[in-house]
Structure 1
Amino acid sequence: MLKIWYLKRYLVSILAFFGFMNIYALRSNLSIAIVDMTQLKNVSLKNGTNVFEREFEWNSTLQGYVLSSFFYGYIFTQIAGGFLAAKLGGARVFGLGIVSTSLLTLLTPWIAKTSVYFLIAIRILEGALEGVTYPAMQELWSHWAPPSEKSRLVSIAGSGSYFGAVVAMPICSLLATSFGWESIFYTFGVIGFIWYAIWLLVVADTPSSDRYIKEKEVKYINDAVSSIKSDEKITTPWCTILKSRAVLASTVCLSCETWGFYTLLTFLPQMMKSLLGFDLNQAGFLSALPYLSMSIMVQVGGFLADYILRKKYLTTTQTRKLGIIVGFSFQGLFILIAGYWVSKFGTPFCLVTAVGLGGLALSSLLINPLDIAPKFAGVIFGINNTFATIPGIVSPILTGYIVTDQTSVTQWRIVFYIASAIYLFGAIFSFLCTDGKQQSWADIPVPNNNGVTSAIDYETQTDKIDCSDFERKT
């Protein structure tokens, strides 16, 4: 029996999973906290009179700006993250991005009580610091992920993002009702520091620089990765990348996915409470369920993709298109249904199903930069995520303007119409343009056994997992 989980590359993937979980917990905690910060509470005055008041008098439009402010900074450091990771190392940049955000999270309660504009400023800074993390992880995988395993390794790690929302929302609700909204930021800030200490001790930028890995695994990874990634310094072909249809497709499709994702991430707790009548704890728990289903389906999508490619049922291009189109089509359908099946069962059911099946699309989108140009995967994902961050800015603000009455079914239905239409557009665009084959401009000459230099056709590589050191002795 093969025990792949003892391999160091899978340990890296698991720790990256918890890293991404921290990233999304630090990002989404304000979505729950702001509900408690702005709701009417019964307050006893010194003279014994009880009155209802809000700690923060922020209207829906201002709340939209507060919730979207994270992405103002996030959008500007995506490409820089790819460069920094290439220079300093993917593991180092990924870890520093998370621990620095954790530090600012610890300061958030004090900042929020000082000024809403200072809160917006610190959220912009948090976004800038987190912006380097995803491109940094692409750079890390370009050294650690053998071609035949990249779908599952990237999917395992990436699913931590959505599991972070799963963990954060119910825990934030419980913390807010038990200890006050401030405890949300203190708790997740401390957790970020604990994770960083473990990451710093265990994970290295490359297998060759790792102190705790078997020599055979180093050789296996380096041999597999060297066929698609050369140590030679290569100038980034910016014009070619920006004109590439494959890069355009991955950018547009990721942007379509993030529109609905960020809309729900920022406003779902408020919708559950105001429209459906759940209390804060119930709203936090139910808001987490869509992301639990997504975290599972991202991993399922990654394992299915590797299986399909290993068996050669479909090409890489066909496999990526299949995941994106199926994911987008079902997301659009169930979000549309959610606008009409408005009930305490129907709405959560539709949204859990929609977001969960979106994991199939994400499992393809997260991997696609490694498909089309492994050498430039960090930079390409930086470009992808730069544009995919725009929905994180626009969607909360637009939703804030549309939904002026959070108890209005008609106003929420408009939000669902927009998201559904964007998913449909993304499915059509993917069908026409998505590519999974390594691009000709990204071919890296490598010497074969006869010393002859040739280009690698990445799509035809189907190496098997080498776990021979971990086979059970019989």
Structure 2
Amino acid sequence: MNEDNSVSDDLKRQAAMFYNSTERERIQEPRKHKTSWRFWEQRRLVVALLAFFGFFNVYALRVNLSVAVVAMTEPMEVALENGTIVYVPEFDWSYQTKGLVLSSFFYGYIITQLPGGWLAAKIGGNRMFAIGVGATSLLTLFTPPLAHTSTALLIAVRVMEGLFEGVTYPCIHAVWSRWAPSEERARLATFAFSGSYVGTVVAMPISSTLTHYTGWPGIFYVFGILGLVWTTIWWLVVKESPEKDPHITASELKYIQESRGALAVEGTQIRHPWKAMLTSGPVWAIVMAHFSENWGFYTLLTFLPTFMQDVFKFQTSQTGWLSAVPYLAMAVVLQVAGHMADWLLKMEILSRTNIRKLFNCGAFLAQTIFMVAAAYAPSVSGCVVCLTIAVGLGGFAWSGFSVNHLDIAPPHASVLMGLSNTIATLPGIISPPLAGSIVTDRTAEQWRIVFFISSAIYLLGAIIYGVFCSGNKQPWVVEVDSDASFDTDGASVTTARGYDNKAMDRSSEM
């Protein structure tokens, strides 16, 4: 009888071994067919790609009025009842009114930076990002009828667009705090941010084309609809964290969790140490760097076409294309810089702190030099080359300060981005009127003063960041350990909420 039981046990063990072997082959089989171009199998790359198009929409929605306002205030041919032809603008705005309409966006934008970061940490960065872009897109659709009704209503809707769009930058850091592996933060974040510059460059000519064929209202309708389409896709595809994504593979989830470390599953459990954050040297190093980079960016974004006209006597049509060149360079350099920073970190050539300092301070020092060189450039080609290098090198700075929030305080990164972007929005409000008060006679000498100010701020930013920057998690960081767990075979994933991700049964290599 004992022999029968022994034989039976052996048969059971053999059957179990055969079953387990078969299951392992079934689970691992997809790995044999894995190819590198199937990026959608790596969900963090899907998040990065959709974030790229999200920021593309963010800036397209922001700059559309800059093109539309030209058509709105351009004299139009009107036939009077007696047959006389006169030229009257559709919106007869003074210079001051036009400036108020264009700047009204920033008055809303600056208000919601910190609240947006706080809400993102509470309810999820993915949701707030979608709400920010979606609400801005919806309001954009109402812009033409409101503009025809009242200039005051147009200004009001632009302020509201700024309020909703102000949450986008802080929110994306809440997303990366959960989705980005430690050694991929720079490349994922900078790839997403580059959508802003691509959106700026692409939206301008598309807006001009739409104005020509559909009239200026078409700009707002097309970009508003595109924004709503993106919002729907993002809401359906991107989850708050990899633990909640039913399509993520076990190996990618394990990789993200091990690299990222423990994070709170419930956002409402996060408590921000405000006093420690606001008195932290590394935090203010990021703030100063963000402020410095945006000062140069907003100065050139606002006045580069005017500078070209005043100093080199370029026509408006020519300056539009030349003004786009530096931002194309910025979009390209962002990709290169992000991969370089992560490669240096992976190869352990430099510490995280020194990588951030090298990329940020090196870029700022070079921008200081090339901004001064542009001011003294004897020809338009030399000036464009210098400005393209100066703006393009800002891509390296973004691999320094823009991801540094995630280095020093991952759970609080969205709030810290809200803080730094609040202060970094001030140049968009201060720089244009300051430059306008300096350049009264439109001479090259007066423009040089504007460039000197930008260079000095870059230099100051490099010094402060070089002294106080840190790439290490700060001692004041408050983390709530989640009890998210996963088995090494990738059979299932269980989080603190009891979520069972059955998609883990389809495990494949990253």
Q: Tell me, yes or no, if structure 1 residue 297 matches structure 2 residue 336.
A: no
The whole-number CA distance in structure 2 between the counterparts of 1:416 and 1:56 is 34
Which residue of 2 is the match for residue 24 of structure 1? 59
In 1, the alpha carbon distance for the partners of 2:252 and 2:314 equals 51
2:207 matches 1:207: no
Task: Give the residue type in structure 2 aligned to 1:425.
Answer: L
Deviation at 1:175, TM superposition (A): 2.6
- AA at the equivalent of 2:190: S
Which residue does the alignment assign to 1:348?
Answer: 384
Corresponding position: 1:155 with 2:190: yes
Residues 322-343 of structure 1: CA distance to partner in whole angstroms, max 9, x if unpaired?
1111221222222222223265
- What does residue range 273-292 of structure 1 map to in structure 2 within 5 Å? 276=312, 278=314, 281-292=317-328
Partners in 1 of 2:339 and 2:354 — Cα distance? 16
Give 1:362's aligned amino acid.
Answer: W
1:32 Cα deviation after fit: 2.6
2:175 alignment partner in structure 1: 140
Q: 1:346 to 1:52 in 2, by over 3 A?
A: farther
Deviations 1:70-104 (A, max 9, x none): 11111111111112112221111101100110111
For the 8 Å contact 1:31–1:265, the answer to whether it is kept is: no
Check if 1:317 corresponds to 2:356: no
> How far 1:12 moved relative to its partner?
0.6
Structure 1 residue corresponding to 2:286, chosen from 241, 250, 257 = 250
CA contact 2:273–2:478 (8 Å) conserved in 1: no
2:225 maps to which of 190, 194, 218: 190
C-alpha distance after superposition, 1:134-185 (max 9, x if no partner): 1111111111111111111111111111111111122223333444333222
Q: 1:397 aligns with which of 419, 429, 433?
A: 433
Q: Match of 2:508? A: 469
Change (3 A) 1:269 1:194: farther
Contact 2:174 2:414 in 1 (8 A): yes
> Do the aligned partners of residues 58 and 288 (structure 1) sit closer, same or farther apart at CA in structure 2, a change above 3 Å counting?
same
8 Å contact kept, 1:297–1:360:
yes
Residues 117 and 333 (structure 1 numbering): CA distance in 2 closer, same or farther, change over 3 Å? farther
- Quote the residue 2:362 is aligned against: 326
Per-residue Cα deviation, 1:109-130 (whole angstroms, up to 9, x for no partner): 3333444333322221111101
Q: Does residue 74 in structure 1 map to residue 74 in structure 2?
A: no
Report which stretch shifted further, 246-255 or 348-357: 348-357
The aligned counterpart of 1:229 is 263
- One-letter code of the match for 2:330? M
CA-to-aligned-CA distance 1:285-341 (integer Å, 9 cap, x gap): 332222211111112111111111111111111111111112212222222222232
Residue 45 of structure 1 aligns with which residue? 79
SS in 1 for 2:476: helix
Q: 1:198/1:142 Cα in 2 relative to 1: closer, same or farther (>3 Å)? A: same
Q: Separation in 2 of the partners of 1:59 and 1:404?
A: 18
Tell me which of 229, 242, 251 is aligned to 1:216: 251
Q: Aligned partners of 1:50, 1:341: CA distance in 2, in Å?
A: 46
**Quick check: 291-300 or 391-400, which moved more?**
391-400
Q: Is the 8 A contact 2:263 2:480 kept in 1?
A: no
SS at match of 1:43: strand
Partner amino acid, structure 2, of 1:258? N
Paired letter, 2:72 = M
Asked if residue 125 in structure 1 is aligned to residue 164 in structure 2, the reply is: no
Aligned residues: 449
CA contact (8 A) 1:69 1:393 kept: no
Letter in 2 for 1:45: A
In the aligned structure 1, how far is the partner of 2:212 from the partner of 2:285? 44
Which is worse superposed, 24-33 or 93-102? 24-33
Which one-letter code corresponds to 2:77 in the other structure? Answer: V
State the shift of 1:57 in Å.
4.1
Picking from 404, 410, 415, the partner of 1:374 is 410
- Superposed CA offset, 1:372-393 (max 9, x none): 1011111111111111111121
| CA displacement, residues 413-448 of structure 1 (integer Å, 9 cap, x when unaligned) | 332222222112111221222221111112658699
For residue 439 of structure 1, what is the aligned residue in structure 2? 474
SS of alignment partner, residue 331 of structure 2: helix
Supply the distance in 2 between the matched residues of 1:447 and 1:127 (Cα, whole angstroms).
Answer: 35
* Mapped contact 1:158–1:366 kept (Cα < 8 A): no
CA contact (8 A) 2:310 2:443 kept: no
| SS state at 1:366 partner | helix
Q: Secondary structure at the match of 1:441?
A: coil
Cα 1:309–1:191 change in 2 (3 A) is: same
Larger Rg belongs to: 2
CA distance in 2, matches of 1:50, 1:336: 49
Q: State how far apart, in whole Å, the 2-side matches of 1:200 and 1:363 are.
A: 27
Q: Is the 8 A contact 2:407 2:471 kept in 1?
A: yes
Q: Structure 1: how far apart are the matches of 2:357 and 2:368?
A: 16
Rounded Cα–Cα distance in structure 1 between residues aligned with 2:215 and 2:309: 18
Q: Report the identity percentage.
A: 49
2:393 match: secondary structure: helix
SS at match of 1:286: helix
- Name the TM-score, length of structure 1 as normaliser: 0.87
Aligned to 1:94: 129
Unaligned 5+ segments in structure 2 are: 1-34, 484-506
Residue 440 of structure 1 aligns to a residue whose secondary structure is coil
In angstroms, what is the RMSD of aligned CA positions? Answer: 2.6
Q: Secondary structure at the match of 2:239?
A: coil
